[in-house]
Homo-oligomer: A and B are copies of this chain.
Amino acid sequence: MVKTIKGTTPKQDGFFMPGEYAPQEKIWMIWPERRDNWRNGAKPAQAAFKQVAIAISEFTSVTMVASREQFQNCRMQLPEEITVIEMSTDDAWMRDVGPSFLINGEGERRAVDWHFNAWGGLVDGLYFPWDQDDLVAQKVCEVSETPRYRTSNFILEGGAFHVDGEGTVLTTEMCLLSHGRNPHLTKDEVEIYLKNYLNVEKVLWLKDGVDPEETTGHVDDIACFIRPGEVACLYTEDTMHPFYEIAQATYRELLEMTDAKGRQLKVHKICCPKQAVTIPEGIEIDLVEGTLPRVPGDICIASYLNFLITNEGVLVPQYRDAHDALACEQIQTLFPDKKVVGVDTLEVVYGGGNIHCITQQQPKI
């Protein structure tokens, strides 16, 4: 079996990335352990990741990868139905370092292994080095026996875009045109990469995301496809909310968009947490030169949009906030055939992301 496809693109070979709502074989995750990002030796984060994995496994098989050092602990912490495989990483964001799986119409699976540079490399990346993270997609492909396309020098993370599975990709200019990723490419050239590797016809460009300093505006905190032709969007009318301006702008931008099939997008509002979530006092993380500090009072990127759609379930972040239940209700309305499950992921958002950021779906073939 050829493992690395050379000389062709997914578009040429008839492979495309299905929407997250397409049938899934399994969900991949990474066990967190960085003590300079996750507080208190990563123990609270591990407990939260465990709850996310257990919640997913009600609907879909989960494979958790863990370092040599954490393999035994991870294996013993998790229920046996969750598979645990040794794998080195630089942190725990499987959405961004894992492969973007593709399918064709004929029962075959491939994947794109994007270049990864920790969300901005030496310009504004979040840590150094990122060499083990950049190998994760290849290693996942080896374990899952998935042939992969490796982009030549195109930097991208899985959380930077959403596809509808019918020819459309949704992304942000703030992220994909950032100085830390592909400054050698024009906007048109970036579009060509997306079209060739995701096999889409149309790129929908939002302007900004809510976190200019971490992921530089990943779309998966502000909007996503819930089915072809329909998107969910973060929304608030609270002018004091830190996400107010981006939420309003994103909502207006989405209302104007049509997808690759010519459908005007139907846009569904999802509330923001009522209170801004902030880094608490007493956060004990290792201090290391060059990594992003976590200072008490800093605003966290706490969005309900960072949910995961997985087979018959939808896993929604919960922040011990007055709007937690409302968010679940709103999302449940969008997925009448699925079970919405909220998971307390405050400890995940303290580390810089949420359920969507720490998962990657492998589609069923």
Residues of A in contact with B (beta carbons under 8 Å apart): 1-4, 68, 71-72, 75, 80-81, 83-88, 132, 135, 138-139, 142-143, 145
Contacts and interface: CB of A to CB of B under 8 A. Distances in A.
A68 B132 contact: yes
Label chain A's interface by main secondary structure: mixed
Most buried by B among A2, A4, A135: A135
A1 B81 contact: yes
A72 B135 CA distance: 9
Contacts of A142: 75, 83-85
Closest A-B pairs by Cβ, 5 of them: A3-B80, A68-B88, A86-B87, A83-B142, A85-B142
A86 B83 contact: no
Nearest to A145: B83
A63 to B, nearest CB: 9
A171 to B, nearest CB: 30
A83 B3 CA distance: 9
B68 A143 contact: no
Contacts of A1: 80-81
B3 A85 contact: no
Nearest to A132: B68
Given A86-B87, A145-B83, A71 B3 contact: no
A33 to B, nearest CB: 14
A232 to B, nearest CB: 34
A2 B83 CA distance: 11
Contacts of A81: 1
Contacts of A85: 85, 139, 142-143
Contacts of A138: 75
A68 to B, nearest CB: 4
Contacts of A145: 83
A113 to B, nearest CB: 12
Nearest to A2: B80
Contacts of A71: 88, 135, 139
Nearest to A1: B81
A19 B107 CA distance: 35
17 contacts: A1-B80, A2-B80, A4-B80, A68-B68, A71-B88, A71-B135, A71-B139, A75-B138, A83-B142, A84-B142, A85-B85, A85-B139, A85-B143, A86-B86, A86-B87, A86-B88, A86-B139
Nearest to A131: B72
A235 to B, nearest CB: 42
Contacts of A3: 80
Contacts of A84: 142
A303 B75 CA distance: 39
Nearest to A136: B86
Contacts of A143: 85, 143
Nearest to A67: B68
